[in-house]
Structure formats: C-alpha cells, structure tokens
C-alpha cells in the first residue's frame, strides 16, 4: 500500500468499547462523518464478560458481546464508518493529527477521540483463559452479583484488591484474599477494613498455581511460602476467582504527546474529556482509573463527541 495519499477525516475515533461506539453514535447524528477503528479487541473488555446485568435498559440482562453488537449497529445505522484496524503510531504535535493504522495507512484527523481502553492484568496462567467467563473475572462490580452466598477468592494486595474484596464480602459467603507478600500494599485504612470484615480471610505468602473444576471454577491450587523449606501446597474450594492486580491503560502510542498519570491513564480536565491537546479527547477506561464501568464509559463517549462537535464548529466548517 502506498503512503503517498493520506486520508483526511473530520473526526477519528480509536477504540470500540462503550466509549468509542457511543461517541460514534453521537458524532454520526451530528453529521461529523466519524471514522472508527476497532483496535486490538473489537467490542472492548465487555466482550469477555458473559452476562451484563447492570447496564440500564436491559432488565433481563444481556451478554457483553450482544451489548457491544447492539451499540455497533446503532452507530452504523447513523452512518458511522466502522473499520477493522489497529492504531500503531501517532503524531499529535500539530493539527491535523496524524494516526497510522496497521503500520501503513495514515489518517489525518481534525479531531480525535481516544477510547482505546485499558487491559486487565492477569497472572498469565493458562487456566485464566480456560475458565474465562466461567468463574474467572477481573471486575468484582461487574460480576460479584453472581456469587451471592458463594465462596470467592481475590488476587492482589493493593487498594484495588482490598476494595474488590470488601465489595464481594457484601455479597459472598466467604472471601479469600490471596497475597503473594507477607503484607498488604494497600493504605492503612483499607487494610483495617479488610481485617475487620468477618468473612474475609487474608492468605499471606500464597501464590496461585492454577484453577480446577469440571463446569467452571471449583477451586484454586495455591502454594504457601514458595521456595522456602516449609513450602506447602494448598487446595481451596472456591466458586469465583477475581483478579485485582491492576489495569494497563492502552496509551503507549499517545504518551509522547499526552499528559498521563504515573500508570499511564490519560489526564483530562476534571469533569470533561478534554486533554492537554486542543481537539483531542479521551473517553472511557483510558482516562478512568476509578469507575471502569460500561455506563460511565458510554457517558464519557457522549461527552467527547459533543466536545468534538463544538471544537469543529468553533474552528471551521
């Protein structure tokens, strides 16, 4: 493919989760002719969630993939140009902003909405893939409801892990917090809450070896004090396995131009999707280390599209 002709667009949207698709719906209806590239994981993180019960408007719940397919169809109905492809490089030094797709095609965009999301960190065990959507989750607020009166384990030792454990403790019968180190990294107040919760048991110096179960997760293989003379293998019966070892924002290709926090989340003007670059907006999990919900992502996608529309009308027709 020749690089001589760059495609020029008014609005480019990167990412196809609730934020990207919602931005595309609003932008299409405002006649901005948005072009959206779906990225590495078309449909975003929700495509790995089997049942979504907390998205307003679906009283009986809906599967993650179905919800994303609905949002995609809605965007296409209003004329959004949705394409397969991955943004591999950017030049945001001056408008129009240049984004390279699949290392070959360059798009010049008057405005850009970054909705590339974040990727949950996993331990890297084959069993995490094997039991995906069958007892393994990286989001307690998404999936905790399915474990009422059941036994679950949370992996991690930071504030997020403690928050997830406390949230699950309100639903589950028993929560195990699996911590590699002999201490928690979480803030003192979070630690105290965990230790005070009657149905949370903290398992210090435990590493996860794998999961077991015939029809989904039925238990976890652990090793206690790994690599010491008194190393001990422990099997624990659980119904759900929650990862809370953090998320990695998919912001690498934007970092030379954008202000990010120490983890890599894009910084926005509080209460808006505006970034440090005029005409470049960030929506969804890429700019949200706190909530990471489909509904908040969709809301920020709407806001980003409205901001892009205002920016375009102020700068030229």
Domains of the chain: 7-119+247-315 (3.50.50.60), 122-243 (3.50.50.60)
Rounded CA separation 66/144 (Å): 20
For residue 129, pLDDT over 50 is answered with yes
Alpha carbons 90 and 92: distance in angstroms, whole number = 6
Q: Please state, rounded to an integer, the average pLDDT across all residues of the chain.
A: 94
Neighbour-count burial for 25-63, b at 16+ CB within 10 Å, e otherwise: bbbbbbebebbbbbbebbbbbbbbbeebeebeeeeeebb
Question: Which pLDDT tens digit goes with each residue over 260-270?
Answer: 999 999 999 99
pLDDT at 39: 93
pLDDT (tens digit per residue) in 17-71: 999 999 999 999 999 999 999 998 899 988 877 788 889 999 999 999 999 999 9
Report d(CA 281, CA 112) in Å as an integer: 6
Query: Cα 119 from chain centroid?
Result: 5
pTM of the model: 0.84
Marked catalytic residue, from 91, 102, 143, 239? 143
Active site residue 162: no
Q: Label residue 283 by pLDDT band (50, 70, 90).
A: very high
- Residue whose entry in the numeric block shows the structure tokens 């790995």: 48
Neighbours of 259 (CB within 10 A): 12
Residue 302 appears among annotated catalytic residues: no
Task: Dump pLDDT digits (tens) for 89-119.
Answer: 999 999 999 999 999 999 999 999 999 999 9
Q: Which H or E element spans position 75?
A: helix 64-77
**Which is catalytic among the residues 127, 139, 288, 302?**
139
Percentage of the chain modeled with pLDDT above 70: 98
The residue annotated as part of the active site, out of 81, 102, 127, 142, is 142
Quickly tell me which residue has 């970054």 as its tokens.
Answer: 114
Q: Extract the tokens encoding 221.
A: 């293989």
Rounded distance between C-alpha atoms, residue 135 and residue 143, angstroms: 9
d(CA 291, CA 131): 25
Return the SS3 of 193: helix
């Amino acid at each position: 493919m020749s690089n001589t002709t760059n495609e020029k667009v008014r609005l480019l949207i990167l990412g196809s989760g609730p934020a990207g698709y919602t931005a595309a719906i609003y932008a299409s209806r405002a006649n901005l002719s948005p072009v959206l590239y779906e990225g590495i994981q078309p449909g975003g993180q929700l495509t790995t969630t089997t049942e979504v019960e907390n998205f307003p408007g679906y009283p009986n719940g809906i599967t993650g993939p179905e919800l994303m397919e609905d949002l995609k169809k809605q965007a296409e109905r209003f004329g959004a140009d949705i394409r397969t492809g991955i943004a591999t490089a950017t030049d945001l030094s001056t408008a129009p902003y240049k984004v390279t797709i699949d290392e070959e095609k360059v798009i010049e965009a008057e405005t850009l909405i970054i909705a590339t999301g974040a990727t949950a960190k996993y331990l890297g065990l084959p069993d995490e893939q094997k039991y995906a959507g069958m007892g393994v989750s990286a989001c307690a607020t998404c999936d905790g409801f399915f474990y009422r009166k059941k036994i679950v384990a949370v992996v991690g030792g930071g504030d997020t892990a403690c928050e997830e454990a406390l949230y699950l403790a309100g639903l589950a019968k028993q929560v195990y917090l699996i911590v590699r180190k002999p201490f928690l990294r979480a803030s003192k107040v979070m630690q105290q809450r965990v230790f005070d919760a009657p149905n949370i048991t903290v398992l210090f110096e435990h590493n996860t070896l794998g999961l077991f179960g015939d029809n989904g997760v039925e238990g976890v293989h652990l090793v206690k004090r790994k690599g010491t003379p008194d190393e001990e293998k422990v099997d624990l019966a659980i119904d759900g396995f929650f990862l809370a070892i953090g998320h990695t924002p998919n912001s690498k290709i934007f970092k030379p131009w954008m202000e990010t926090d120490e983890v890599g989340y894009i910084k926005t003007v509080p209460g808006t999707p505006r970034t440090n670059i005029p005409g470049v907006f960030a929506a969804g999990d890429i700019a949200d280390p706190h909530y990471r919900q489909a509904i908040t992502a969709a809301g920020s996608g709407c806001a980003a599209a409205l901001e892009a529309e205002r920016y375009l009308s102020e700068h030229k027709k």
